[in-house]
Structure 1
Amino acid sequence: MHKESISDHSLQKEATTATPAPSPPQPSPPAATPAKPLKDASPETPTKAGQTPTTEPGHRAPNDTPKVILEETVCLKKELGLFEGITMIVGTVIGSGIFVSPKGVIEYSGSVGMSLIVWAACGMMSTVGALCFAELGTMIPESGGMFSYLMEAFGPVTAFLYMWLTVVIRNAAGMAVVAITFANYLLEAVVSECEVPDVPRRLIAAGLIGFLTWVNSMNVKWAANIQNVFTVTKVLALVLIIVMGINHLASGHLDNYRDPMHGTSWAATAISTAFYQSLFSYGGWEKVTFLVEEMKNSSRNMPLAILIATSLVTIIYTLTNVAYFAVLSPAEMISSSAVAMSFAARTLGVLAWTMPLFVTCSTFGGMNGGIFTQARLIFVGARRGHFPEALSLLHATRFTPIPAVVFNGILCLLMLVTSDVVVLINYSTFCYTLTHFGCVSALLWLRYKQPERSRPFKVWLLLPILYWLTQLFLMVFPLIANPVEVGASIGIIATGLPLYYLAIYRKDIADRLSKPLGKLTYLCQLLFLGLPEKKMD
């Protein structure tokens, strides 16, 4: 560590025992009593003027500099159980997508029947992909998810490009989209009769990012409890839609289901684009692998959480779309800017105002889950040397990666320079598919190169092969249909190569940055009471 950084050695020494001040020699002293361990770090009460301070065994002299007393291992703590794993996945996946994406799916699929097939197929595809990730997560039990898997299989260049793309562009932009959606629906619920300027929307989105950044910095359990509450809320909102839709069907409104395949678009590019629209709503299940170091009994709980959560989301999403089509025709869905609002206006009457409130809760929970998991990705990247060392520090007593959480919050705030959601998400879907393609390739490569490696959870080989083929299909056809957008995504990825060469590969250039980065580490240690993750001896 840089010479100006707080010394690990001094903290270790302070954390063990405090040796009392030496006393004058005594004639025939009794057997020495060992010093008691320090129990707290609070300074003694100041003495009166002229009074000589005394030091007793196990206590600090008043003129000593207060220091942090560490009696625990400085590392991420295993505080998340199976229920927290399920709610983290469900809460992260169910965001704003299910309330707006059905429009895109029906537009490209062309019919009610094909639309429902796409939603169910995407759910099953996500479940298969999640099981593949569960194998990787239990085999490589390190927070950081896809970054760790790509590093293990293909080395630092591929892992760095994933980190660059995901942290700096894709996830930060995606969370900015969720924050802006939160602001839009909150304003819709409060001042629905007025047109709100753009600046208040951005300020509300920034306030949400700031608040959840603070929560995730303070306590892991706080963030997990928020996720639990808002996951239940958003599921109740979708259950309300499903119940109202089934009630509408039971009343005899079956017009949209009499010829469900009428108007189907069978073009491969149209079907692949419909899958893209649906997969956007399913995105986020892979983030549970970022939490493996904080999950109790992860070799059991991670696969269970993934299987239960993705199955639950698939059922909810498919039934929600069944409900939408029970009330709205395909033409009405395509013309609607917010399908859930159109549905509520038709079925809830005077209670239609509750739908923006439910969507607000949904986006709030999705934002919290995104910040929680994204910070772990940044933390692991810094631990591996792909980000400054300062971002790998943990708070000495809360055991949260505060510098990584704050850095992620800053990136999200920077994305609010625009509130145009389309600009923010235009290039993300291809990148999402590309990263999943890379990770399932890593699974197949490790199966080939390391067949004897311990795998607490192992999927049937046919499943990752099928998932690999579907991801390949979803990359190739959009490349044909939308070459400009896909080319821009590839260009964004390529910008990480010169950065990797200058900042990591070229050690001589990296060494020139060691002094300012050392000062940054020192500053983060002071501001956030940060320590490197290690066991205190």
Structure 2
Amino acid sequence: MGEESLKRRKGREDRQSVQSHEPPTMNLQKQMGLMSGICMIVGTIIGSGIFISPKSVLANVEAVGPCLTIWAACGVLATLGALCFAELGTMITKSGGEYPYLMEAFGPIPAFLFSWTSLLVTKPSSFAIICLSFAEYASAPFYPGCDPPQAVIKCLAAAAIAVITIVNSLSVKLGSYLQNFLTAAKMIIVTVIIVSGIVLLAQGKTDNFKDSFKGSKISVSSLKIFINLHSYCLTALNWFTLSLNLPLSIIIGIPLVTVCYVLINISYFTVMTSTELLQSQAVAVTFGDRVLYPASWIVPLFVVFSTLGSANGTCFTSGRLVYVAGREGHVLKLLSYISVKHLTPAPAIIFYGTIAIIYIIPGDIDSLINYFSFAVWIFYGLTVLGLIVMRFTRKELKRPIRVPIIIPAIVTLVSVVLVLAPIISAPELPYLYCTLFILSGLVAYALFVHCKFSWAQKISKPITMHLQMLMEVVPEEDITE
């Protein structure tokens, strides 16, 4: 009996030894904790806008009170949206943000149209604009008294895109560490501005807040400003599905950003009148000149850090969107492959960075972003509507976070209003261009996804094979020794 028992034990040990030496499955690296998630949100949303041009809000409402109200309302709506995305992120634990949510709720066509618009225009264009903003501030000290040459700005912006792309392709940890550092640097200048404003308010400098709603106006242009402001928060809501920590990150991070935005604006108005703020080319720099005196040089330096942090966060999140679209077969399959060495979606991130560099070549892409700004709201509202739909069609899905249905209903209704109101009140050709571009995605879907022409596969197969060997990437389901 002792001999048989020894044989059985030996057999179990052999089986365990074999199992322990089985090659691991290649999976996307998911090293993103709660603190890194919060830093990614804050670092992505707070870019250069709050430091450079809050005067655009004031210019459209013409009073301090409505200006602060719009910033706060934007934050409240973003927080409600964050709660909706927190439920979606814990219910459908896939990377890619709106893409998998739209796929589960409405099927492949709306999901493809979202990826079509996002991959080719909105995401890379946004990345390019952020890096161009960085380049302008980084090069300005070397050209005192004049604007830096456009060639210098574009080359510096392209270099920033290349560096950020390489960092995020090499390691999730490295990208997270970079984001944590840049966010810490960003929060230093945010804290300096907020504390300075509080001190000045405590000293009784409240003259600029008297009759704060006098002479205000709300119009269609105000709605457009609201849309543009809220787009900063939407940037951070399109990807938080990598771990259960990240829905908690958005619930903490977005209200934190909202409080920062409102307090920063209060600090600005404490130091400057409405007229002075409108005349300032860079509001934060003017604030620094008046409050920080000899240390005012830190403002442009930290604006550079802030912009880099926003660009890094944008690259990290949007690269995942490309990866998921490739995994679903809606773009070249190679874009869903992951690096054997680094376990990152390197092809997707490199693709995203390449498109962003291409968008730097035109002189002005702000107008291009405006053409497609309301498309972000279309898919945002459609995604939240999908949450309501799945309450009835996908009851079997587990929901670790479950928000009252009134919250997605409010967000969906506001999205519809913000999409339709500017079109009805002041119809413009950019809305038509955007609509036509979105609909052109139906043609691409029919040709390359639904029909899957054999000639397209014959062309893409050798390209994929050679690029796969060059970049050392494999499909996620493959294994390695």
TM-score normalised by structure 2 residue count: 0.92
1:193 is aligned to: 145
Quickly say closer, same or farther: Cα 1:190–1:424, change in 2 above 3 A.
Answer: farther
Q: Tell me which residue corresponds to 2:223.
A: 272
Quote the Cα distance in structure 2 between the aligned partners of 1:330 and 1:386: 49
CA distance in 1, matches of 2:75, 2:303: 21
Structure 1 residues 506 and 288, CA gap change in structure 2 (3 angstroms): closer
Whole-angstrom distance in 1 between the partners of 2:225 and 2:343: 42
Distance 1:441 1:213 in 2: 33
Structure 1 runs of 4+ with >4 Å offset: none
Paired with 2:22 and 2:118, the residues of 1 have a C-alpha distance of 34
CA distance in 1, matches of 2:431, 2:288: 36
**CA deviation vs aligned residue, 1:397-421 (integer Å, no higher than 9, x gap):** 3111111111111100000112425
Which whole-Å CA distance do the structure 2 matches of 1:272 and 1:195 have between them?
Answer: 32
Alignment check: 8 A CA contact 2:359 2:365 kept: no
Match of 1:361 among 305, 316, 320: 305
After superposition, give the CA deviation of every residue in 1:345-395 in whole Å (9 maximum; x if it has no partner). 222223222211111001101111111111111111010000111111111
- 1:428 Cα deviation after fit: 3.5
Which range is displaced more, 190-199 or 526-535?
Answer: 190-199
Root-mean-square deviation over aligned CA pairs:
2.0
Which structure's residues are more often helix, by fraction?
2
Displacement of 1:535 in angstroms is 5.5
Question: Does structure 2 conserve the Cα–Cα contact (< 8 Å) formed by 1:89 and 1:288?
Answer: no
Alignment check: 8 A CA contact 2:140 2:147 kept? no
Asked whether 1:323 is paired with 2:274, we answer: no
Aligned: 1:389 with 2:329: no
Q: Which residue is 2:5 aligned to? A: none
Letter in 2 for 1:446: M
The answer to whether 1:376 aligns with 2:320 is yes
1:504 and 2:449 aligned: yes
What CA deviation, in whole Å up to 9, does each residue of 1:283-341 have, x standing for no partner?
Answer: 4221342xx23x3xx1xx12211111011101101100100111122222223332222
Alignment deviations for residues 143-164 of structure 1 (CA, whole Å, 9 cap, x no partner): 0110111111111111111001
Instruction: Look up the equivalent residue of 2:375 and give its one-letter code.
Output: C
Aligned to 2:417: 473
Per-residue deviation at 1:110?
A: 2.1
Q: Which residue of 2 aligns with 1:448?
A: 392
Determine the C-alpha separation between the residues in 2 that align with 1:366 and 1:305.
16
Which amino acid is the alignment partner of residue 224 of structure 2?
A: T
Deviates more, 1:478-487 or 1:493-502: 478-487
Matched, 1:245 2:214: no
Counterpart of 1:287 in 2: which secondary structure? coil
Shift of 1:485: 2.4
Matched residue, 1:287: 238
Deviations 1:484-503 (A, max 9, x none): 22222212212212111111
Query: What percent identity do the matched residue pairs reach?
Result: 36
Q: Which residue of 1 aligns with 2:10?
A: none
> What does residue 307 of structure 1 align with?
251
Read off the aligned partner of 2:39 and give its amino acid letter: T
Letter in 1 for 2:257: V
Matched, 1:519 2:462: yes
Letter in 2 for 1:247: V
Specify the structure having the higher radius of gyration (Cα). 1
C-alpha change, 1:219 and 1:110, in structure 2 (3 Å) is same
Give, in angstroms, the shift of residue 170 of structure 1.
0.3
Matched length: 462
Preserved CA contact (<8 Å) 1:379 1:391: yes
- Whole-angstrom distance in 2 between the partners of 1:73 and 1:332: 60
SS in 2 for 1:495: helix
Aligned to 2:477: 534
Match of 1:403 in 2: 347
Cα distance change of structure 1 residues 492 and 336 upon mapping to structure 2, 3 Å threshold: farther
